Structure 1
């Protein structure tokens, strides 16, 4: 079922949606500058259009689970270092996500500061070059999270099509869930 094309979701597969949402996080986190930090010559930029396609994550569920667990571990370790209760408080520096195992390419620095500037490169017109937008790490992390929820909703449609319904809240934005709770 992981690789079976959906009639209802434009021939999409669960695997392609999983790869797509993972790619957004991967591209955001992998482009953070090296441990020595940012300089005038090296600004942090992210281009979500440089996604990988036709990769093992789309077709190999075990590989996908492993990669998602790596991402989850990295994000959980990093979020602990952030002060999410005070988003306006500046926290300078970077955090390096490391485990007790040997260092890997996944052990790259991440910003402590949700307000760390990021330049977003986006394709608006396929006949022209990318357009640059100024953003922040926190805003882009939020975007990746809500973008993932959108793909969870598509995965939910595919699962329902194949007779595997998921929980009611799966694929629903946090703000929608909050609104529903306030109207109960």
Structure 2
């Protein structure tokens, strides 16, 4: 079997497109519905967008801070806003120049409940790949939530690309 190679921006753009499609088939009420003891689909979307935003900012600043997130934003309450923001983030990801993805970045992560951080070195492309893979897992949580709300979600949504490839 011949291996097909895609860029990390294509991988991320595909993931953002799937996420936007999922949000697009929900109603406003389904988007913000919060099952007892669980986060809403909207909360997962906000989390994914926050991570993509962190890497987009990191390409410019040289620092990626995934834990600098603002909760309770319009992403968690307004499905139309979320659809627009997902399209905007996808456009920004698609517009990243290959050379900017080779830039080194410092990743700062909160590693303890006391606020202690760890600092690691990476590249923008490695972090973009991480973020797109991280989003897969959130979609995997959102899909069953949507199905319990009666949404007909495409069968391939919520699976990691490697899983889909092995099923073929």
Q: Give the TM-score normalised by the residue count of structure 2.
A: 0.77
CA contact under 8 A between 1:45 and 1:118: conserved in structure 2? Answer: yes
CA contact under 8 A between 1:18 and 1:57: conserved in structure 2? Answer: yes
The partner residue of 2:47 within 20, 38, 41 is 20
Higher-Rg structure is 1
CA contact under 8 A between 1:124 and 1:130: conserved in structure 2? Answer: yes
1:61 match: 79
Shift of 1:128: 4.6
Stretch moving more, 52-61 or 119-128: 119-128
Q: Write the distance in 2 (CA, Å) between the matches of 1:66 and 1:23.
A: 14
The partner residue of 2:64 within 46, 57, 61 is 46
2:35 match: 6
Q: Does 1:180 align with 2:167?
A: yes
1:133 match: 120
Would the alpha carbon gap of residues 158 and 65 (structure 1) be closer, same or farther in structure 2, given more than 3 Å must change? same
Q: Which blocks of at least 5 consecutive residues in structure 1 are unaligned?
A: 35-43, 83-90, 92-110
What number of residue pairs does the alignment pair up? 139
Shift of 1:165: 3.2
Shift of 1:153: 0.9
Tell me: higher relative CO, structure 1 or 2? Use CA pairs within 8 A at least 6 residues apart: 2
Shift of 1:26: 0.5
1:28-81 C-alpha deviation (Å, 9 max, x unpaired): 1123336xxxxxxxxx11110111100001010011111111111112233xx4
Q: Does 1:70 align with 2:57?
A: no
Aligned CA-pair RMSD? 1.5
Q: Write the distance in 2 (CA, Å) between the matches of 1:33 and 1:72.
A: 17
Q: Which blocks of at least 5 consecutive residues in structure 2 are unaligned?
A: 1-29
